[in-house]
């Protein structure tokens, strides 16, 4: 008899967050992150995450280093952004709700280092504030890809502060495979599959019209569905 999966990829992490930010307050999301990412690194070292370290969302300490990790939502609808209001208003309410819901499943989240270095912004904070990124994960992932190649990118300074974390995965392929991001990169890991047309950070991060937003929404949702499938398959 098949055992039920320990992770429900349809679970809406808002449902047990008490109306607060699920990245901080959903106990189910926290447990799912611990289950998913406590596994061997590319080096073979076990990356065990604990929830018992005071003041830390998830924590790891071993010969590979000490890391304080936090959950981050990687799918954003931009529904609360004033500059996007006219575009969002044109989207069917049911479609808006579906976008919100799938983005609040485990496939719409990831772990980043949660500790500040030298009092400066975390990756989560920096990618949300940067005008060339605007909290988009596909653009963030491109910065991470360029970081591994030693190339300049909009988040260069921030990512470099967490070089020990990215070093755990050896290269971009290792990072993408560890966090089950293969559906957002080309098979040879040479490029990111962007949600909207991209030209070396010269194109606007925010969709500029309804057609662009619908493309962004459709590709974002397809990515989360594919990633949730990968998550389910890793637990079989």
**Residue 31 belongs to a domain:** yes
Q: What is the dihedral of CA 175, 156, 143, 27, to 10 degrees?
A: 60
**Residue 2 belongs to a domain:** no
Mean per-residue pLDDT, 179-207: 96
**Residue 145 belongs to a domain:** yes
Domain containing 176 equals: 13-234
**Residue 5 belongs to a domain:** no
Tens-digit pLDDT profile for residues 11-66: 999 999 999 999 999 999 999 999 999 999 999 999 999 999 999 999 999 999 99
**Residue 8 belongs to a domain:** no
**Residue 198 belongs to a domain:** yes
**Residue 188 belongs to a domain:** yes
Q: What is the dihedral of CA 134, 136, 137, 139, to 10 degrees?
A: -80
Task: Tell me the C-alpha distance between 40 and 48, whole Å.
Answer: 8
Tens-digit pLDDT profile for residues 96-140: 999 999 999 999 999 999 999 999 999 999 999 999 999 999 999
Neighbouring-strand partners of residue 73: 109
Number of domains the chain contains: 1
**Residue 77 belongs to a domain:** yes
Measure Cα distances from 41 to 85, 138, 208 in Å. 42, 23, 40
């Amino acid at each position: 008899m098949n055992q039920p999966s320990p992770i429900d990829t349809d679970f809406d992490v808002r449902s047990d967050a008490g109306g607060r930010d699920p990245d901080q307050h959903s106990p189910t999301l926290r447990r799912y992150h611990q289950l998913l990412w406590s596994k061997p690194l590319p080096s073979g070292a076990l990356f065990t995450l604990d929830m018992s370290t005071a003041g830390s969302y998830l924590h790891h300490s071993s010969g590979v280093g000490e890391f304080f990790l936090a959950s981050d939502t990687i799918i954003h609808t931009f529904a609360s952004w004033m500059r996007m209001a006219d575009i969002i208003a044109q989207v069917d309410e049911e479609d808006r709700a579906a976008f919100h819901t799938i983005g609040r499943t485990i496939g719409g989240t990831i772990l980043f280092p949660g500790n500040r270095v030298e009092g400066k912004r975390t990756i989560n904070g920096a990618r949300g504030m940067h005008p060339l990124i605007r909290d988009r994960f596909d653009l963030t992932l491109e910065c991470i890809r360029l970081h591994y190649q030693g190339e300049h990118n909009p988040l260069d300074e921030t990512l470099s502060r967490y070089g020990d974390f990215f070093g755990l995965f050896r290269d971009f392929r290792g990072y993408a495979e560890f966090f089950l991001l293969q559906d957002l990169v080309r098979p040879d890991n040479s490029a990111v599959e962007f949600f909207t047309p991209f030209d070396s950070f010269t194109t606007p991060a925010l969709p500029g019209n309804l057609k662009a937003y619908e493309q962004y929404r459709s590709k974002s949702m397809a990515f989360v569905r594919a990633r949730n499938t990968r998550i389910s398959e890793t637990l079989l």
